[in-house]
Structure 1
Amino acid sequence: MTTKKQPRVDVKKTYKLFINGAFARSESGRVFEVTAKNGDFIANPALASRKDLRDAVTAARAAQSGWAKATAYNRGQILYRIAEMLEGRAEQFESEIALTSQITAAKAKAQVTDAIDRWVWYAGWSDKLQAVSGATNPVSGPFFNFSISEPQGVIAIASDVSFIDFIDAIAAAVVSGNTTLVLVPGSLAVPAMTFAEVLATSDLPAGVINILTGSLDELAPWAASHMDIDGFDISGVNKKKHGELKVAGAENLKRIHAFSTGQSPSRILAFMESKTVWHSVGV
C-alpha cells in the first residue's frame, strides 16, 4: 500500500535581534509585519524594546576596548572578509531588497554591488586614518607634541531604510575602532538580519556590531538619552526630530551627527577624537 505524499510545508525563517554575536528574541515578545510591494506577507521581525537596547549597549561597551586595541591592519582584514562574504551571498541580498523595497531588481543589484565595494573602500581606510587625521604640532620649547586620533567608543546608528545607507553608517563607525548598535526600521529588517548572519560567521568579534529591528520613534530617543552611548548617527531619523534627540543627548555630551552623503572620510572622522601628547625631547 502506498501513501500519498503530503504537500511540503515551507520552513519559515524566524527573525530575531543580533546582540553580542548571537541571535536573541526580543524580551518584549513583540513583532511587526513586513510585506512585499504587492502586499503579500514576508516576515515578522522582532520589535526591539528598551531592554534590548540596554543589552546591546552592554555588549558594545564590553567589546569596544578589544576592538579599539586591534591593529588597524587586523580591523581592515576583518572588514574585507565581510565584503567577501557579502559577495558570496549577493543574489540573496538582491532578491530580499527587491522584494521588500520599492525599487527594481536592477536597482537592488546595483545597491548590493555598491555595498560590497563600500566595505572594501572602508577596509582600506583602516590603516590610513592616522596619516590623515594625526599630526606633529609645532611648539616653542624642548618638546614634541603629537595629535593622535582615537575612536569615541560606543556609537548608536539610526539607519535609513536604504541598504546602502545602512552599510555606509556601520562601516564608517567601526573601521576606526568604535563598536555599534544599529537601529533598523521597517522593511530593511529583512536584509539587515541576513547581514547579521554574515557578521555571525565572519571574523568580527562578538559585540562590535549589534542590530536591533523595530521603530525608530521608540528606539532613537532611548539611544539619545542613554548615558553609556558616546555618539549617535541620526541620519535615518526624520529631520523634524533631530532637535529633540540632540537635547536628549546633551546630558552626557553625546556627539550627534546626521550625514547627507555616504562614502566619505569625514564620516569616519566624525566619530573619532583627537588626543594630544607632549613628550620631552631626548627623554
Structure 2
Amino acid sequence: MSERKSERKSERASERAERLPVFKTYKLYVGGKFPRSESGRVYEVTDSKGTWLANAPLSSRKDARDAVSAARKAFGGWSGATAYNRGQVLYRVAEMLEGRREQFTAEVAAAEGLSRARAAAQVDAAVDRWVWYAGWSDKVAQIAGSANPVAGPYFNLSSPEPTGVVAVLAPQESSFLGLVSVLAPVVVTGNTAVVVASEDRPLPALALAEVLATSDVPGGVVNVLAGRTRELAAPLAAHQDVNAIDLAGAAGDAELATELEVAAADNLKRVVRPGDGAADWSADPGTERLLAFLETKTVWHPVGA
C-alpha cells in the first residue's frame, strides 16, 4: 500500500515538473474593447535578461487609424463631462492600480530589470501621480483661465478647453511611471488619447489598459497600441483627425522627432518635443504637460445682461 502511494506522489511530482507555462498573449485596447491586431501579428517580449515574458500585439497602421476614430468618437462625451467627474474617474484608476500593486511591481521589475524594491517604488509613484492629476481636474481653470479687464460694459472671461485627440508616444525606458506621467495630464483636461506603448517594454502599458477597462474610464478615452514606435508614429503624426502629439517616446532619436514634427505641421498639430537629456520621471511634474494640450476660449458678456 505504501509503495502505491509513493508511486502516485512520484507521478504527480513528475506531472508538475513537466507542465509547460502558459504565456499570455496581450491584445490592443481600442474603443473600450480588446481586439487583436488587424494584421494578426504579435511579437515576443523579453525581460532584461532575454527571458521570454509574453506576446504583445504588433499594431498596424490600420490599428492606429481605428484608435484615432475611437478617440474622436469618445471626445464629445469626455470633454463635456464636468471637471469634478473626470477627477473622480482618475482617482478610481488609482484605486484599481493600488489593488493590483503586486502585479505591476512584478511587471515593471521584469520590464526594466529593477529590483523588487525599486520597481515597487516606481509603481507607488505612478499611483500617486494619478491621484495628483486627479486633484488638478477642477483646479486647472484657476491657473489657465482669467477674468480680463476691458474698456467697456462687458465681462471678458478666458477659460481653458481641451485640444481634442492627442497621440502619445510613451517613454521607451520608463515603461510605467513615464507612461502615467504623459497620459494622465492629457485625459484629465478632457482630451482623448491614442497611446503607443514602449516598444521593448509594452507589458505595463497593456496591463494598464486592463485596469482602465474595469474602472470608470469611458471606452475610447484611452486607446493603447503596441508595436514598432516608428511604424505607428508616422501615420499618427500625419493623421488629419489628430490634434496634438507628445513625442516623449522619440527621445534619443532626433531624426524621428524632426520627421514627426514636420508631418504634424500639415494640420497645425500641437507638438510637445522630447527633452535633450534623459527625463527624470520621478521629479515633480509641474504643470507643463497639464497645460500643453489646452486651448483658450474667450467670451464677452454684457454687464447686467
TM-score range (shorter-chain normalised) is over 0.9
CA distance in 2, matches of 1:19, 1:98: 26
Larger radius of gyration between Structure 1 and Structure 2: 2
Cα distance between partner residues in 2 of 1:101 and 1:144: 53
The answer to whether structure 1 residue 139 and structure 2 residue 150 are counterparts is yes
State the alpha-carbon separation in 1 of the partners of residues 87 and 68 from structure 2.
23
Out of 195, 206, 218, the residue aligned to residue 193 of structure 1 is: 206
Whether 2:105 is the aligned partner of 1:94: answer yes
- 1:36 to partner: Cα distance: 1.9
Q: Which runs of 5+ in 2 are unaligned?
A: none
SS of equivalent to 1:24: coil
Contact 2:230 2:256 in 1 (8 A): no
Distance change in 2, residues 1:265/1:259 (3 Å): farther
SS of equivalent to 1:44? strand
Task: Quote the offset at 1:11 in angstroms.
Answer: 3.3
Secondary structure (helix, strand or coil) at the match of 1:214 reads coil
Residue in structure 2 matched with residue 80 of structure 1 by the alignment: 91
Distance 2:191 2:268 in 1: 17
Contact 1:157–1:180 (8 Å) recurs in 2 = yes
Percent pairwise identity: 52
Name the counterpart of 1:249.
264
Does structure 2 retain, via aligned residues, the 8 Å contact 1:231–1:254?
yes
- The root-mean-square deviation of aligned C-alpha atoms, in Å, is 1.6
- 1:280 is matched with 302
Matches within 5 A, 1:149-164: 149-161=160-172, 162=174, 163-164=176-177
Aligned length: 283
Does the aligned pair in 2 maintain the 1:34–1:186 contact within 8 Å? no
Secondary structure at the aligned position of 2:34 is classed as strand
Give yes or no for the alignment of 1:21 onto 2:32: yes
Q: Is 1:270 the equivalent of 2:292?
A: yes
Note if contact 1:155-1:230 (Cα within 8 Å) is conserved in structure 2.
Answer: yes
Quick check: 2:199–2:229 contact (8 Å CA) kept in 1? no
1:165 aligns with 2:178: yes
2-structure distance, mates of 1:242, 1:187: 18
The answer on whether the counterparts of 1:101 and 1:187 sit within 8 Å (CA) in structure 2 is no
- Residues 150-189 of structure 1: CA deviation (Å, up to 9, x unaligned): 0001000001121111001110100010000000122321
Residues 32-89 of structure 1: per-residue CA shift (max 9 Å, x gap): 2211222211112001100000100010000001001111111000100100111111
Higher mean C-alpha deviation, range 179-188 or range 78-87: 179-188
> What TM-score does the superposition give when structure 2 sets the normalisation length?
0.89
Amino acid at match of 1:205: P
Instruction: State the match for 2:249 in structure 1.
Output: 236
The corresponding residue for 1:69 is: 80
State the secondary structure of the residue aligned to 2:150: coil
Report what 2:240 is aligned to: 227
**Superposition deviation, residue 9 in structure 1:** 4.3
The yes-or-no answer on 1:51 pairing with 2:62 is yes
**Structure 1, gaps ≥5 residues long:** none
Work out which of the residue numbers 112, 115, 124 in structure 2 matches 1:104: 115
1:37 maps to what in 2? 48
Find runs of 4+ consecutive structure 1 residues off by over 3 angstroms: 1-11, 259-262
Higher mean C-alpha deviation, range 103-112 or range 167-176: 103-112
Shift of 1:143: 1.4
SS at match of 1:229: coil
